[in-house]
Structure 1
Amino acid sequence: MKTYTSPVNTLQNLKNIIPPWFRFLIIVLLVLGIYFRFVNLEKKVYWHDEAHTSLRISGYTKTEFVQQVFNGQVINVDTIQNYQRPHPETGVISTINSLAVDEAQHTPLYYVIVRLWVQLFGNSVAAARSLSAIISLLAFPCIYWLCLELFESPITAWMSIALLAVSPLHVLYAQEARQFSLWIVTILLESAVLLRAIRLRKKRLWGIYGVTVALGLYTFLFSGLVAIAHGIYVIAIERLRFTKTVKAYLSATSLGFLAFAPWIVTIINNLSQVDRTTSSAQTRQSISSLVSNWVTNIGGLFADFWRYEPFFPDFNLPILRWGRFLVPLLLFLVIYAFLFLYRRTAPRVWLFVFTLSGFTALALILPDVIMGGQLSTRARYVMPCYVGIQLAVAYLLATQIIAAKLIVHKFWQLIIVIVISIGLLSCAISSQAETWWSKGSHANPEVARIINKTNNPLVISSNSSLNIGDLMSLSHLLNKNVKLQLVIEPKTPNIPNNFSHVFLFNPSQKFKSKIEEKYNLTMIYKRGRLWKLEQKNN
Structure 2
Amino acid sequence: MKLYFFKKIIVKLLLPQKIFFLVIALLLIGTFFRFINLDQKVYWYDETITSLRIAGYRQTEVVQQIFDDKEISVQTLQKYQKVNPKTTLLATTYSLATEAPQHPPLYFLAAQFWTQWLGDSVTTMRSLSALISILIFPCLYWLCLELFGSSLTGWMAIALIAVSPFHVLYAQEAREYSLWTVTTLLSSTALLRAMRLKTKSSWRVYAVTIAAGLYSFTFSLFIVTGHSIYIITTEKFRLTKIVKASLFACFIGLLAFSPWILIIIIHLLAVGDISGWTAINLPLSSLIKEWFINFSSIFFDLNFRHNNVYLTLPILILEIYSIYFVCKKSPQKAWLFILTLVGVTAIALVLPDLLWGGRRSSVSRYFIPCYLGIHLSVAYLIATQITSTSFPQRKIWQIITAMLILCGILSCAISSQSVVWWNKYDSYDNPQVARTLNQANRPLLISDPGVSFGYVLSLSYLLAPEVKLQLFTEPSVTEISTDAQNIFLYRPSQKLRNQLETKYTVVPIKENQNFWRLER
**How far, CA to CA, are the matches of 1:171 and 1:206 in structure 2?**
32
Q: Is the 8 A contact 1:447 1:525 kept in 2?
A: no
| Residue number in structure 2 paired with 1:286 | 283
Q: What amino acid sits opposite 1:229 in the alignment?
A: G
- CA 1:124–1:384 in structure 2 vs 1: closer, same or farther (change >3 Å)? same
2:84 is the counterpart of 1:99: no
Structure 2 counterparts to residues 404-423 of structure 1, below 5 A: 404-423=389-408
2:115 is matched with 118
Q: Residue 74 in 1 paired to residue 71 in 2?
A: yes
Q: Distance in 2 between matches of 1:496 and 1:83?
A: 23
Q: 2:503 corresponds to which residue?
A: 518
1:107-151 alpha-carbon deviations (Å, 9 max, x no partner): 110011111111111111111000000000000000000000001
TM-score after normalising by structure 1: 0.93
* Residue in structure 1 matched with residue 179 of structure 2 by the alignment: 182
**Residue 106 (structure 2) aligns with:** 109
Q: Does 1:443 align with 2:429?
A: yes
Q: Deviations over 1:62-104 (max 9, x none)?
A: 1001000111111111111111122244311100100111111
CA distance in 2, matches of 1:13, 1:131: 31
Letter of the structure 1 residue corresponding to residue 234 of structure 2: I
Partner of 2:519: 534
CA distance in 1, matches of 2:445, 2:194: 58
Work out whether residues 280 and 359 of structure 2, in 8 Å CA contact, stay in contact via their aligned partners in 1: yes
**CA distance in structure 1 between the partners assigned to 2:22 and 2:87 by the alignment:** 48
1:432 pairs, out of 408, 417, 424, with 417
Secondary structure at the counterpart of residue 422 of structure 2: coil
Aligned residue number for residue 162 of structure 1: 159
Q: Which residue pairs with 2:440 in the alignment? A: 454
- TM-score, with structure 2 as normaliser: 0.96
Counting matched residue pairs gives 511
Aligned 8 A contact 1:180 1:380 in 2: yes
Unaligned runs of 5+ in 1: 1-11, 311-320
Could you tell me which amino acid in structure 2 is paired with residue 432 of structure 1?
Answer: Q
CA offsets, 1:356-413, max 9 Å, x none? 1111111111111111111111111111111001100000001111111111110000
**1:136-175 matched pairs, under 5 angstroms:** 136-175=133-172
SS in structure 2 at match of 1:477: coil
Secondary structure, aligned partner of 2:423: coil
Residues 14 and 27 of structure 1, relative CA distance in 2, 3 Å threshold = closer
1:341 corresponds, among 326, 329, 343, to 326
Match of 1:398 among 359, 380, 383: 383
Contact 1:14 1:155 in 2 (8 A): no
Residues 1:18 and 2:19 aligned together:
no
CA RMSD between the two structures: 1.5
CA distance in 2, matches of 1:16, 1:200: 24
- Equivalent residue for 2:370? 385
User: Is 1:350 the counterpart of 2:347 in the alignment?
Assistant: no
Q: For the residues of structure 2 that align with 1:284 and 1:326, how far apart are their CA atoms?
A: 26
Match of 1:83 among 72, 80, 84: 80
Moved more, 63-72 or 524-533: 524-533
Amino acid at match of 2:393: V
Question: What pairs with 1:459-474 in structure 2 (closer than 5 Å)?
Answer: 459-465=445-451, 467-474=452-459
What displacement does 1:173 show? 0.4
Runs of 5+ consecutive residues of structure 2 not aligned to the other structure: 1-8
Structure 1 CA distance, aligned partners of 2:77 and 2:363?
Answer: 28
Aligned residues of 1:358 and 1:385 also touching (Cα < 8 A): yes
Question: Does 2:48 match 1:51?
Answer: yes
Q: CA shift at 1:32, angstroms?
A: 0.6
Answer whether contact 1:14 1:153 (CA < 8 A) is retained.
no
Displacement of 1:425 in angstroms is: 0.6
Decide whether the 8 Å contact of 1:443 with 1:529 is kept in 2: no
Change (3 A) 1:519 1:378: same
Measured in 2, the distance between the counterparts of 1:301 and 1:83 equals: 34
- Bigger drift between 135-144 and 294-303 goes to 294-303
Q: Segments of 4+ in structure 1 off by > 4 A? A: 12-17
Q: Which residue of structure 1 lines up, in the alignment, with residue 271 of structure 2?
A: 274
Q: Distance in 1 between matches of 2:381 and 2:407?
A: 18
